[in-house]
Amino acid sequence: MINRRTHVAHFCATALLALTTSIAFAQSNYRAPRGPGGKPDINGVWQVLNTANYDIEPHAARPAMSVRSGPAGPVPATPVLALGAVGAVPAGVGVVDGGIPYTPEALLIKKENQEKWLERDPEIKCYLPGIPRATYMPLPFQIIQNESSIFIAYEYAGAARDIFLKDPGEPPVPAWMGHSVGKWEGDTLVVTVTNQVADSWFDRSGNFHSDELKVTERFTPTSPYTMLYEATIEDPQVFTRPWKMSMNLYKRVGKDAQLLQFKCVPFVEELIYGHLRKTPLE
């Protein structure tokens, strides 16, 4: 019986390895349909299927709550809006390749951000998410491509950005969505993003950056309905070396392949400005 079980387990493992290898081989040899200018056609509505917006690092399921410091270290605070399981954080395997190499000083800030998540996370105030976070928000985005530029519209907060295929030069001021310049390397769109403000985060777990952030994105079609997205992060003020996150993007089809509106500014007016009312709401 043991030998039989061992044989079956070995057979299953071999079959899984063969399947994984064949999928990887098929993806590595995939050639996307040609679009504007003979480049890969990446037009469409795309979305992730992961939990990176909660936490880009591997994490267990947990209640959606902030934490506060106690005598023995961080302790749970009041759950957010007492939503119970509805407000819980789903587990995730993470999208970071290896760990995040914070400097010792920056790691302390990251932990403090996590403890004060409800006060500090820019998503709560409906600020624009920045890059790369805009890519893995739990809402879709649409890529519109022509020969001279690529435009990406995001459902979250009506965010948008142009990816210039010819660098127009340094922008006058930093911006929430930064300055994006792209080029094609084979079938991969490589985008360099600079000039972002320091106020955006990578996720709801306090992972952050400074205004020296440089993001190098790579969009590689791997099938008619998937793309590999990679983002290399450089920020000498916060990290000791460059690091990378990677994930799959999935193309939405049918009636679902459209952006709806999520203009969240009205949702947060009371949160941000409610204390300025002459007569506070009860």
| Number of domains the chain is built from | 1
| Cα-trace Rg, the chain | 21
State the CB neighbour count (10 A cutoff) for residue 114. 19
Please report whether residue 13 resides in a domain.
no
At 121, list the tokens. Answer: 């996370």
Contacts of 274 (CB under 8 A, 6+ apart): 280, 281
Contacts of 24 (CB under 8 A, 6+ apart): none
Structure confidence by residue, pLDDT tens digits, 169-210: 988 899 999 999 999 999 999 999 999 999 999 999 999 999
Structure confidence by residue, pLDDT tens digits, 89-98: 999 999 999 9
Q: What's the confidence (pLDDT) of residue 22?
A: 46
Please report whether residue 5 resides in a domain.
no
Please report whether residue 64 resides in a domain.
no
Please report whether residue 246 resides in a domain.
yes
| Location of structure tokens 């008619």 | 224
Please report whether residue 237 resides in a domain.
yes
Measured between its terminal Cα atoms, the distance across the chain in Å is 69
268: domain CATH number? 2.40.128.20
Please report whether residue 17 resides in a domain.
no
Q: What's the confidence (pLDDT) of residue 45?
A: 98
Please report whether residue 68 resides in a domain.
no
Question: Which burial class, exposed, middle or buried, applies to 132 when counting CB atoms under 10 A from its CB (0-12, 13-18, 19+)?
Answer: buried
Instruction: Give residue 145's domain range.
Output: 35-55+79-276
Q: What's the confidence (pLDDT) of residue 118?
A: 85
Q: How far is CA 128 from the centre of its chain?
A: 13
Please report whether residue 249 resides in a domain.
yes
Structure confidence by residue, pLDDT tens digits, 221-278: 999 999 999 999 999 999 999 999 999 999 999 999 999 999 999 999 988 888 887 7
**Closest by CA position to 103, among listed 193, 191, 212:** 212
